[in-house]
A = this chain, B = another copy of it.
Amino acid sequence: MDPKQILEQVRDGAMSVDEAEQYFRRAPFEELGYAKLDTHRRLRSGFGEVVFCSGKADEYLVSIFERLAADEGEALGTRATPHQFELVQKACPQVTYDPIARLLKLENSDKPHIGNIAVCTAGTADIAVAEEAAQTAEFFGSKVTRIYDVGVSGLHRLLANLEPIQAANCVIAVAGMEGALASVIGGLVQNPVIAVPTSVGYGASFGGVSALLTMINSCANGIATVNIDNGYGAGYLATQINRLACGKENQK
C-alpha cells in the first residue's frame, strides 16, 4: 500500500490514525524491499555459504550441511573438530576434512583457480592459520602459493623467496610472537598485504595481541590487518582482491 492510499483511507475513516502512524514509523525501511536482498547478495558476491562450526550444535551443523549440499553442491565449514567431521560425513559422504586447517569442505573437484595469492608464515607454528587462509582462498577459486617459515629473524630465507611473493596479486602474511613479517613484506611488494596475527607465542604475546599491535602500527604502506588467527577472513579478502585483479570476466 502506498502512502497516498493510506492517507486517503485515513481521510475516509477506513484506517485509524494509530494504524496509519504505525505504517509511517517503519516506512523508510520497508520501501527498500529487503526480501530481495538475500538472493541479490548471493548472486552478486560469488561466495558460497560458509559455516563457522565452532560451538555449533551437532544437529544444526549436519542439517545446514545437508541443505547446502542439496542447494549449492558446495560448502565450507571453518574451525571444525574431527568429531564434527565424522558427524557431517555420515550425512554428506563426499565431505572432506583437513585437520591442520580445521576445514570441512564439500567442493567441486574441477573448479578453476585464477590469479595468484601468496601465503607466507613467519614460523612453522603459524601454518595452521596459514592453511585456513590458503584453502579458503582455493575454495573460492584462487590460485595460492605457499611460502612458509620465512620469519624476519633469518632474513635470507625471506629474501630467497621474494620472487613469488612479489608476483602475487595479494600477499597474506601470517605471524605470531612479534609479528614483524608483515612490515618487512610490505616494504618489498607492490600489491596489498593482508596481515594475520596468530596466537603463537608465550609470555607478553598475549594470545596474539602483540602481533596484532605490530601489524596495526606497521610503518610500511599497503597493509591491513584481520583478527588474530582469522585465516578464513584473510583468505576471503584476498580472494576479493584477486578477483578484482583478474578482471570481472574471470569472476565466478
Q: Name A residues whose Cβ lies closer than 8 Å to a Cβ of B.
A: 3-4, 7-8, 10-11, 13, 17, 20-21, 24-30, 32, 34-38, 40-41, 43-47, 50, 52, 54-56, 60, 122-125, 127, 148-157, 159-160, 162-163, 166, 169-170, 177-180, 183-184, 186-192, 194-195, 197, 199-230, 233-234, 236-237, 240-241, 244-245, 247
Contact A219 B40 (CB under 8 A): no
Contact B169 A244 (CB under 8 A): yes
Contact B38 A157 (CB under 8 A): yes
Contact A190 B125 (CB under 8 A): no
Give Cα distance in the complex from A197 to B32, angstroms: 24
Which listed residue (B43, B228, B236) contacts A204, Cβ 8 A?
A: B228
CB-CB under 8 A from A188, the residues of chain B are 29, 41, 44, 155
Interface majority SS (helix, strand, loop, mixed), chain A: helix
CB-CB under 8 A from A223, the residues of chain B are 226, 233, 237
Give Cα distance in the complex from A194 to B222, angstroms: 11
List the B residue with the shortest CB-CB distance to A186.
B153
Contact B226 A216 (CB under 8 A): yes
Which listed residue (B11, B32, B228, B240) contacts A192, Cβ 8 A?
A: B240
Known A-B contacts A55-B125, A155-B187, A178-B214; A24 and B3 likewise in contact (beta carbons under 8 Å): yes
- Pull 26 A–B residue pairs with CB atoms less than 8 Å apart, ordered by A: A7-B21, A7-B24, A26-B166, A32-B159, A34-B124, A34-B127, A35-B148, A35-B149, A35-B156, A37-B155, A38-B156, A40-B156, A44-B190, A151-B219, A152-B152, A152-B184, A178-B218, A180-B183, A202-B230, A203-B227, A204-B227, A209-B213, A216-B226, A217-B227, A223-B226, A224-B234
Which listed residue (B8, B37, B192, B215) contacts A17, Cβ 8 A?
A: B8
Contact A180 B203 (CB under 8 A): no
Which listed residue (B7, B29, B189, B211) contacts A45, Cβ 8 A?
A: B189
Give Cα distance in the complex from A201 to B52, angstroms: 10
Which listed residue (B3, B45, B197, B206) contacts A222, Cβ 8 A?
A: B45
Contact B221 A233 (CB under 8 A): yes
